[in-house]
Amino acid sequence: LYHYGTESYDLTGFGLTDNPSNPFKWTFPSVSIAPGQYLLVWASDKTQSLPNLPLHTGYGISSNGETIVLTNPQGIKVSELAPWVSKPD
């Protein structure tokens, strides 16, 4: 995730998912993202939600790609990223 705002943003309770019908498949722990900063979250089938360790969603992403959805704590979709598919030359 990239935060392009001007103030730190608290992501506690936000959800990440590869399944829009289950918007809170993985929920952010108590973490904030600073302005101009990236926050890396691994979709690795390893569940890790401790704020001071690398974050892992507990589900993986298909090698064919999947849409990733970010949802706020109220269940409203904030952002969606469609899979990027490389086309052969």
- Give how far Cα 71 sits from Cα of 37, 66, 85, 86, Å: 19, 16, 24, 27
Q: What is the pLDDT of residue 20?
A: 87
Is residue 89 scored above 70 in pLDDT? no
**How far apart are the C-alpha atoms of 59 and 48, rounded to whole Å?**
11
pTM for the structure as a whole: 0.83
CA distances from 39 to 2, 6, 10, 85, 88 (A): 6, 16, 12, 23, 30
**What is the mean predicted confidence (pLDDT) over 53-76?**
89
